[in-house]
């Protein structure tokens, strides 16, 4: 936008509006591209699990992880979507479950801690999540709880897919442990609205994200293409 303003003529507001619309359209096209690429890998009659919200409300209008789910549903590849509530902000409950219901995609909401027990049942074939940042080696930072899902997936032989635009990839960060992890206010953990859930003054650790190592990820989907087994190659094949 700064570059756009510097090159604008008499009407900088109009120039910025045009650029914003271009970016918006580019994002929607990228989401549909990722949706199609990810859906191709899902076998028919599969149930899937997602965490947090990576849908229309988090993007230009289609979604990354939910874009794959939407495309797979349209292609009759998935039977239902299990959604973690995603504590402490409950994005899964408040956003993802709502989005899926609007699209009339079968959705089952669950507590985050139910995921391992669910995967043990054998119905879920893929875990599909978004990403907030991807390191050069394929390590992925995403909403807290993603890492434990990846561990559970590997134990139960469930495949793990990360879906994110290539702008999420930071080739200046070599590995996930170098990604800064934000921690937030304790009130998000000890209360919901005005309702207290914990003793006053209890110590709280509230990291917003965690890092999933590349070796626990089966595939990373971007609009530029797909990286299978990112632990072997990192993100370099898509960086040119």
What is d(CA 91, CA 98) in angstroms, rounded to the nearest whole number?
10
Q: Which of 90, 86, 24, 30 is nearest to 60 (CA)?
A: 24
Q: Choose the catalytic residue: 27, 132, 210, 218.
A: 132
Bridge partner list, 194: none
Cβ-Cβ contacts under 8 Å for 117 (sequence gap 6 or more): none
Between 65-74 and 12-39, two packed helices, what is the crossing angle to 10 degrees?
Answer: 60
- Residue 166 parent element (H or E): none
Tokens of 182: 């934000």
Tokens of 165: 């635009």
What is d(CA 85, CA 126) in angstroms, rounded to the nearest whole number?
17
Query: HEC states along 56-91?
Result: HHHCCCCECHHHHHHHHHHCCCEEEEEEECCCCCCH
Q: What 8-state DSSP symbol labels residue 18?
A: H
Residue 9 falls in the annotated catalytic set:
no
Helix, strand, or coil (residue 211): strand
Under 8 Å between Cβ of 165 and 68: no
Residues annotated catalytic, as ranges: 132
């Amino acid at each position: 936008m700064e570059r756009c303003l510097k090159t604008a003529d008499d009407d900088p507001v109009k120039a910025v509006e045009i650029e914003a619309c271009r970016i918006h359209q580019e994002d929607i096209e990228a989401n549909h591209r990722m949706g199609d690429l990810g859906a191709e890998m899902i076998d028919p009659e599969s149930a899937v699990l997602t965490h947090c919200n990576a849908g229309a409300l988090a993007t230009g209008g289609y979604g990354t992880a939910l874009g794959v789910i939407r495309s797979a549903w349209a292609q009759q590849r998935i039977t239902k979507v299990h959604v973690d509530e995603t504590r402490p902000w409950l994005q899964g409950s408040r956003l993802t479950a709502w989005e899926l219901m609007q699209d009339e995609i079968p959705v089952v909401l669950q507590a985050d801690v139910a995921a391992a027990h669910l995967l043990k049942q054998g119905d879920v074939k893929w875990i599909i999540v978004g990403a907030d940042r991807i390191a050069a080696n394929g390590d992925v930072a995403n909403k807290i709880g993603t890492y434990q899902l990846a561990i559970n997936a590997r134990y139960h032989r469930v495949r793990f897919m990360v879906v994110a635009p290539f702008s999420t990839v930071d080739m200046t960060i070599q590995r996930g442990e170098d990604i800064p992890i934000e921690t937030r206010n304790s009130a998000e953990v000890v209360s919901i609205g005005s309702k207290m859930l914990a003793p006053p003054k209890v110590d709280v650790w509230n990291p917003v994200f965690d890092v999933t190592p590349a070796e626990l990820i089966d595939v990373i989907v971007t609009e530029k293409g797909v990286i299978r087994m990112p632990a072997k190659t990192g993100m370099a094949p898509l960086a040119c």
